[in-house]
Amino acid sequence: MRTDGRARVALLCAGEIGYRCLQRLLESEAAAVCAVVSYRVEPPQGECLDLIRRLCERRAVPFFEAAAVGRPGGGPWEALNLDYIFAVKWRTMIPRRVVEAARRGVIIFHASLLPKYRGFAPVNWPLINDEEKTGVTMFYAAEEVDSGDIIDQRERLITDADDAATIDAWLNATVERMLEENLPRLVEGTAPRRRQDHAQATYAIWRSPEDGRIDWARPARSVFNLIRGLTSPYPGAYTTLDGRKLTVLSSEVEREPRRYVGSIPGKVERIIPGAGVNVLTGDGVLRLKRVQLEGDEPRNAAEVITRLKTKLY
């Protein structure tokens, strides 16, 4: 702790959410930022690394570009004399000696209602799995992944209008608010702390872009959930049109589908100018609304799929 009463903190961060949390820390009267470590994430948030770097330069905060932590700039973490380390959108394990370098703990934000969805892709899996709600948890780092004591937790219902973009936007604003509200409590020693119920823990495995391939034999609702769960700012669910990769950005389940007694999943059923393209699935019809053909801009699906006798693979 500094003599002026402010906690000495470091921030491990990335993306828009990392930039916003850095702004809150720099504006806070409860903390002094001693170091920032960041890395470049995938488009469209790749430029956030440069925003974070420039903000650190303006405020004379030591900045290090790295996707993993050990010794920033070759110097030991212990020399920073930290009270807390905050990790926001941080994807790699934090070594034990770095954790131990923060006297009062390492605090992580995870985009799920822990102990549910520990592990990877917590934004995407609840949407893909058609969950009724999701959330974000602020907690202390522990030996086991995402298992530490909870400081704060916020919940959000998921509706059919939600996708990865709307959940991401909510997370950005919510994490920023949680940090701002809890930082003074952490410094004062009044922040809540409760153990997770480990018996209720569930885990999610890592995803790669290849895992986004659409299986048209799946139910329409399942394909809809995959598409909305992987849409921008994530790599997207995709299929193949005439040998070219076609990313599906948005869709909806056809509410009054025709009853087919002869059906082949993946075949185009109708093209509706201005509205989209209906494609057969394992149990019904899915309307593709916005798509992006490889090397092209996002467009209405009816502008890209123009022939009725088309099959997506």
Q: Judge contact between 158 and 132, C-beta under 8 A.
A: yes
The mean pLDDT value for 256-282 works out to 96
Q: What is the pLDDT of residue 74?
A: 44
Look at the block and give the residue holding tokens 């057969």. 280
Burial class (CB in 10 A: 0-12, 13-18, 19+), 114: buried
pLDDT band at 136 (very low <50, low <70, confident <90, very high): very high
Whether the predicted pLDDT of 156 surpasses 90: yes
Pairwise CA distance, residues 26 & 97, whole Å: 25
Pairwise CA distance, residues 177 & 171, whole Å: 10
Percent with pLDDT over 70 in the chain: 97
Question: What are the backbone angles phi and psi of residue 35, rounded to the nearest 5°?
Answer: -165, 150
The single-letter code of the amino acid at 268 is V
Whether the predicted pLDDT of 65 surpasses 60: yes
Distances in whole angstroms, Cα of residue 148 to Cα of each of 12, 88, 110, 152, 185: 18, 15, 11, 12, 18
Pairwise CA distance, residues 222 & 257, whole Å: 16
* 111-132: pLDDT as tens digits: 999 999 999 999 999 999 999 9
Whether the predicted pLDDT of 18 surpasses 80: yes
Distances in whole angstroms, Cα of residue 183 to Cα of each of 94, 98, 190: 21, 20, 10
> Smallest Cα–Cα separation from 236: which of 224, 248, 223?
248
pLDDT band at 78 (very low <50, low <70, confident <90, very high): confident
Q: List, in order of start, the domains of the chain with CATH numbers.
A: 7-203 (3.40.50.170), 209-304 (3.10.25.10)
Whether the predicted pLDDT of 151 surpasses 80: yes
Q: Judge contact between 137 and 153, C-beta under 8 A.
A: yes
The mean pLDDT value for 288-311 works out to 97
Percent with pLDDT over 90 in the chain: 90
* 188-234: pLDDT as tens digits: 999 999 999 999 999 999 999 999 999 999 999 999 999 999 999 99
Whether the predicted pLDDT of 62 surpasses 80: yes
> Smallest Cα–Cα separation from 143: which of 82, 83, 99?
99
The mean pLDDT of the chain is 95
